[in-house]
Structure 1
Amino acid sequence: MKKGTLVSDKTTVVARNLAKSYFLPNSGSSLAFSKSRAREIKALQSTSFVARARESIGILGKNGSGKSTLIRLIAGAESPSEGEVLVSAKPTLLGVSAAMQKSMSGRENVRIGLLAMGVSPDIVKELTPKIIEWAELSDSIDRPMTTYSSGMAARLKFSISTAVQTEILLVDEALSTGDATFKAKATKRMNEFLDTAGTVFLVSHGAETVQQHCSRAIWLHEGRVIADGPANQVTKSYRVWGNRVATGRSAEAAKIIKGMTEKYTRPTIYFDDEFVCALDRSTAR
């Protein structure tokens, strides 16, 4: 067992023995739903990690690996089935989409999105021009969002969600939409959060996105963490695995997953009066 690592008051997120299950009725079951007769889907299992200020952490994994589930648990949008998540401040989830109305104008959606984030009406008025300018939508801000391209909508959502400085920013696939200019601006905005002692989580199934924007990467596979370490190392292994899957070399892909799983050691986390202590924090090899 490795020596414990003391994490100071700069710790922003602690996930300890985190798990999330969903229960779905079996086909042909009666109308009355019963967990005892339902099919359990384990979206996330036994996940533990410590995040610190000024860390940009990529969450990697194929579709259905548990990435978005983990982000929703950190954000407090869902409750874990087991374990706990502790945060130093209320996280901001880059996803005001639920509050936005496509039939309304971009300007109206700026107001709706900010209010949904808890911003006061006075501050909404102050922030609106800055949001419009950052999103580069001055000529189309009063048009309905139904007329926006996917890139225009992505810029507006990102601009709204990052208009207010926050200690913990959660970005779910937002950078997968948009051109190179938008991605460069988004990176600069995220770096501003890091410079003010923030923590950014970036969810993606693309290794290139995580390698470009993150210093650390957590690889989820079938609901479990199989790697947690420097982004350049984890993404290298993830990229090789993805190539093996894409080219039909399933045995080689399975060997990579097996090797990563065997190298990874889930940290044991405990608390005392002054520190969060993480034992055996894994590193990618």
Structure 2
Amino acid sequence: MAKVKEMTRVTESPPPVVIDYTREPIVVVDNLHVIYRVYGGGGGKGTAATALMRILRRQNRPQMKEVHAVRGVSFVAYRGDAIGVIGTNGSGKSTLLKAIAGLLPPARGAVYTQGRPSLLGVNAALMRDLSGERNIILGCLAMGLSPEETRAKYDEIVKFADLKPGFIHYPMSAYSSGMGARLRFAIAAARTHDVLLIDEALATGDAKFRKRSKAKINELRRDAGAVFLVAHNLDQVEETCNRVIWLDEGKIRMDGDPKEVIAAYNEAIGK
């Protein structure tokens, strides 16, 4: 990856981006803006048939609204970082992770990553009609593991997911949200990732699973690149991460030590 240069944010009174030249950058987010374009009905009244007639007559055409979800975000993540991303609902946390994963195009700015980012979320693409066993196989193959590596990892994944007896052979549609989340995380953690992005995937896990997942994230930090974690459970973020980014209305409000950032966030929201 090319040498990282000093960057600035397009925000109100933006804090400078501090570059640590002694560490290896693995993700560089440079003045990132993400804008959603939403089409509305224009506020007209009536039935669906009358609405259709208005459109056909080019009257009261649907209006486009822009939602500026991420506004001039810049930071550098280094190899070995576990970064928590916190903020209220609608602050841009999930949007930021999707942009880093390459699933959302920037309206302005850019994201540079060393290696391939992998996004793990509560809606990770497992097949609900297939058994957990089949999903493990397909998930591992989709991540680039060979059939031999998949077979070698299978028992480890099943043990880590800690499903109820026999459920590994049931379709995913029969799983509780917690069981599904544990299996998704277990599959994603079966290989070393350059950049692992975890969006609320651990929120439904119990205390026992959160302890195991924390240990696994620490292992991934040692063996791979960077880990990003979005979670509303701030205790979990503080225990797991060495750095926290606080997003507020799509902008970075604070970036630094987990205890300091979380304390400032709790004070701001009156918690």
Match of 1:49 among 75, 89, 95: 75
For the 8 Å contact 1:18–1:82, the answer to whether it is kept is yes
Matched, 1:73 2:73: no
For the 8 Å contact 1:13–1:86, the answer to whether it is kept is yes
**Residue type of the partner of 2:26?**
T
For the 8 Å contact 1:19–1:46, the answer to whether it is kept is yes
Q: Quick check: 54-63 or 208-217, which moved more?
A: 208-217
d(CA) in 1 for partners of 2:98, 2:173: 27
Give the total of aligned pairs. Answer: 241
**Secondary structure in 2 aligned to 1:175?**
coil
Q: Quick check: 208-217 or 219-228, which moved more?
A: 208-217
d(CA) in 1 for partners of 2:233, 2:109: 28
Tell me by how many angstroms 1:152 deviates.
1.5
For the 8 Å contact 1:99–1:116, the answer to whether it is kept is no
Paired position in structure 2 for 1:15: 29
C-alpha spacing 1:182/1:2, structure 2 compared with 1 (3 Å)? closer
Paired position in structure 2 for 1:107: 133
d(CA) in 2 for partners of 1:6, 1:215: 15
Match of 1:143 among 139, 163, 170: 170
**Residue type of the partner of 1:131?**
I
Aligned-residue identity in percent: 40
Structure 1 residues without counterparts, runs of 5 or longer = 245-285
Matched, 1:224 2:251: yes
Q: Quick check: 107-116 or 119-128, which moved more?
A: 119-128
Tell me by how many angstroms 1:104 deviates.
1.6
d(CA) in 1 for partners of 2:16, 2:153: 48
d(CA) in 2 for partners of 1:26, 1:3: 38
Q: Which runs of 4+ in 1 moved over 4 A?
A: 1-4, 29-32
Q: Equivalent residues in 2 for 1:185-264 (5 A)?
A: 185-243=212-270
Paired position in structure 2 for 1:63: 89
C-alpha spacing 1:27/1:37, structure 2 compared with 1 (3 Å)? closer
For the 8 Å contact 2:121–2:200, the answer to whether it is kept is no
For the 8 Å contact 2:192–2:224, the answer to whether it is kept is no
**Residue type of the partner of 1:113?**
G
**Secondary structure in 2 aligned to 1:63?**
coil
d(CA) in 2 for partners of 1:85, 1:97: 23
For the 8 Å contact 1:63–1:205, the answer to whether it is kept is no
Q: Equivalent residues in 2 for 1:146-165 (5 A)?
A: 146-165=173-192
Paired position in structure 2 for 1:175: 202
For the 8 Å contact 1:95–1:161, the answer to whether it is kept is no
Matched, 1:93 2:123: no
d(CA) in 1 for partners of 2:127, 2:224: 33
